[in-house]
Chain A
């Protein structure tokens, strides 16, 4: 799995951090998404899929999901 984020689209709702805190974080200055792990291990794939599904701004895209 390859995770991509779009910081322009991100609206800082924070769902991704709740769903997969090892993969996503938020920038201190404005709460915009930061990617911690672009190729997360298999055990995190479902959490990352959940994060992408609930992201209100479609800021997370998954390749080879």
Chain B
């Protein structure tokens, strides 16, 4: 049995390699050589690093690995991330039964048939954004004009948040998700966003609408502060992830012209292609974190109670044992077992919405902009290596 005295392999997060679509090479190497290994963190602490698909499914399905970030030993990727995860915890940082109680207040909002009913509305938003983007122009930043506003508009609509405030909440979001943000900066951004959402929630008490915030008010079970915290989670998770996944997917397709041609010729293959892009790009590069509440034997390694565990879902999604040729993008692959949305009872609540948005975003771009191409050399694209959610800062394209 391995023990906690094992030497850390490297400091997490590790430096990126040459291909910006690939996880840093140190993680793939760990998966090959020592799939459950020790890494050191920014504050000198150590944590377990889990890199295989099968092991991560086991960890994330096991209630002995807690999501409660206030427990001693819980691993954080930076001081700012520690503040983000412990400041005003929502149900994603709770265990059953509290987690179940709060999550179930929202599961109905994102169920398949409800999300499918949004299709015409999301399509309309995508078309309007492209109308505006292409009007009299031959180039634009796809992030600012399409990939970011699309999910932002949709989540605002669902929550009942005025989209005209997007500069404010997107700036808060940038601070919260930047690894180098200080705990003070994170605290301020969290407080500003919390105040905003609590005030907004209060207005729903007198002027209810058809949004999620209003429905949470109507339940009568939660305080405005609790609803505001839930709203903050949904607002950030609802736009940052899809925005980055959309832009990164477009870039990956432009860099794989054969795959792009295949998709243009087979628009019915878009849903499967989205799953493969989720697998291949898996934008949660900082890892999914847990802490053991008791001693657990994980694939022959003993994880002791109180030790942190970081599940590298992006690396596991390249695991050859699960996805042969996993480092290759192959839009014809059945990639549905990917871990891009996590696994276990905490798996992404909004994934049906993310799928719908990604499918519509890609299908609409391919259909309407047959000449879509990168407007700068690939080497000049700025990747979000310093953010908790990976992607690109800008994507200059022309058509």
| B-binding residues in A (CB < 8 A) | 9, 11-15, 17-19, 26-32, 50, 53-54, 56-58
Contact = CB atoms under 8 A, between A and B. Distances in A.
A56 B112 contact: no
A27 B346 CA distance: 19
A58 B107 contact: no
- Residue among A28, A30, A54 having the largest count of chain B Cβ atoms under 10 Å: A30
Contacts of A31: 107-111, 114
Interface of B: 60-61, 100, 103-104, 107-114, 336-337, 341-349, 351-352
Contacts of B345: 9, 11, 56-57
A27 B109 CA distance: 11
A29 B114 CA distance: 11
B337 A54 contact: yes
A13 B347 contact: yes
B336 A50 contact: yes
B104 to A, nearest CB: 5
Contact of A56 (B109, B342, B352): B342
Nearest to B338: A54
A26 B111 contact: yes
Contacts of B110: 12, 14, 31
Given A32-B104, A54-B337, A56-B61, A14 B347 contact: no
A12 to B, nearest CB: 3
Contacts of B104: 12, 30, 32
Contact of A14 (B60, B346, B352): B352
Given A29-B108, A32-B107, A56-B345, A14 B336 contact: no
A9 B349 CA distance: 15
A26 B107 CA distance: 10
- Chain A contact residues, majority secondary structure: loop
Contact of B343 (A9, A26, A56): A56
A13 B103 contact: no
Given A11-B100, A12-B104, A56-B342, 20 more contacts: A9-B345, A11-B346, A11-B347, A12-B103, A12-B108, A13-B351, A14-B112, A14-B351, A14-B352, A17-B113, A26-B111, A26-B113, A27-B108, A28-B108, A31-B107, A31-B111, A56-B344, A56-B347, A57-B61, A57-B344
Nearest to B337: A54
B107 A30 contact: yes
B112 A26 contact: yes
B108 A30 contact: yes
21 contacts: A12-B103, A12-B107, A12-B110, A13-B348, A14-B352, A17-B112, A17-B113, A18-B112, A19-B336, A26-B108, A26-B112, A28-B108, A29-B108, A31-B107, A32-B104, A56-B342, A56-B345, A57-B61, A57-B344, A57-B345, A57-B347
A56 B348 CA distance: 10
Contacts of A19: 336
The 8 closest A-B pairs by CB, nearest first: A12-B107, A31-B111, A31-B107, A56-B347, A26-B111, A11-B345, A31-B108, A14-B112
A12 B111 contact: yes
- Residue among A26, A28, A53, A56 having the largest count of chain B Cβ atoms under 10 Å: A56
Contacts of A29: 108
Nearest to B334: A50
Nearest to A56: B347
B254 to A, nearest CB: 28
A26 B342 CA distance: 21
Contacts of A53: 337
Contacts of A56: 60-61, 342-345, 347
Contacts of B112: 14, 17-18, 26
A14 B111 contact: yes
Nearest to B103: A11
Contacts of A26: 108, 111-113
Contacts of B352: 14, 18
B337 A11 contact: no
A54 B275 CA distance: 13
A30 B104 CA distance: 6
Contacts of B108: 12, 26-31
